[in-house]
Structure 1
Amino acid sequence: MGAALTRYRVIAWIVGVVLIMLVVIGMPLKYGFDNPVVVETIGPSHGFLYMVYLAAAFDLSRRADWPLKRMLAVMLAGTVPFVSFWAERRVSHWVHEARPERAPQTVAG
C-alpha cells in the first residue's frame, strides 16, 4: 500500500498546483484581460491530470478498504483549490493510522 500512497500523494500535489495556476492566474487573465491562453493551455492538462488523480485515489481507497463516502470525498478534493493539499495530509494520516507499524518513527529527545 506504500506505493499506492506515494502515487496518490504525488498526483494530489500536481493536481493541486495546476488547479491553483488555472484559478489564480488563468481565470483572471481570461475574464479580466480577455487573454485565454493560460486557460487553453492548463485547462486540458488539469483535466487529464485529474483523471490520473481519480485513478490513484480509487486504487488507494480499494487497497485501504475505505467506505464509499470517504473515497468519493477524497476524489472530489481535486476539484477545489487548496483542498487537495489538505486531503493529501488527511489521507496520509488515515493510511499511517491504519498501519501503525509502517508509520514514520520519531526520535524522542
Structure 2
Amino acid sequence: MNFSLKTSLGRFRLVGLLEGISYLVLLGIAMPLKYLANLPMAVKMVGWAHGMLFLAYILALIAVTFDRRWSFSRVVVAFIASLLPFGTFWLDGRLKKEEEATA
C-alpha cells in the first residue's frame, strides 16, 4: 500500500483506509466487548477514534472533490462507502486502479 501524501487523492486514500479499519474494529471488536463482556469503555474509546477519523475522511473527501473536480455522484458514492463495512477498502481499490491508469 503506497500512498502519496503529496496529493489530495493519496491523503484521501490513507484516511479512508484508517477510517475503514477503525469501523471494522468498532463493529467487530468493541461492540462485542461492550455487549458480551460488559466492557462499554471499548466502544467509547474506539468510537471516539472512529468519529475523529470519519470527520477526517469527510474533510479529505471535500479536499479531493475540489482538487480533482469530482462529480456529485462520485462524491455520494465515496460518502456511502464510508458508511458500509469494507466500503472504503472497495473504494480504495477503484481509486488505486484509476491512479495507476493515469500515471
- By the TM > 0.5 criterion, same fold? yes
Note the C-alpha offset of 1:91. Answer: 2.3
Identity of paired residues, percent?
29
Q: Which residue of 2 aligns with 1:10?
A: 14
- Map 1:1-109 onto structure 2 (within 5 A): 3-97=7-101, 100=102, 103=103
Note the C-alpha offset of 1:13. Answer: 0.9
- CA distance, structure 1, for counterparts of residue 65 and residue 99 of structure 2: 10
User: What residue identity is the alignment partner of 1:47?
Assistant: G
Q: Secondary structure at the match of 1:81?
A: coil
Structure 1 unmatched runs, 5+: 104-109
User: What residue identity is the alignment partner of 2:16?
Assistant: A
Quick check: which has more Rg, 1 or 2?
A: 1
Range with greater deviation from structure 2 (43-52 or 76-85): 76-85
User: What residue identity is the alignment partner of 1:86?
Assistant: W
Q: Tell me the C-alpha RMSD between the 2 structures.
A: 1.8
Q: Which residue of 1 aligns with 2:3?
A: none
Aligned residue pairs, count: 99
User: What residue identity is the alignment partner of 1:4?
Assistant: S
Note the C-alpha offset of 1:92. Answer: 2.9
Note the C-alpha offset of 1:94. Answer: 3.6
Structure 2 unmatched runs, 5+: 1-5
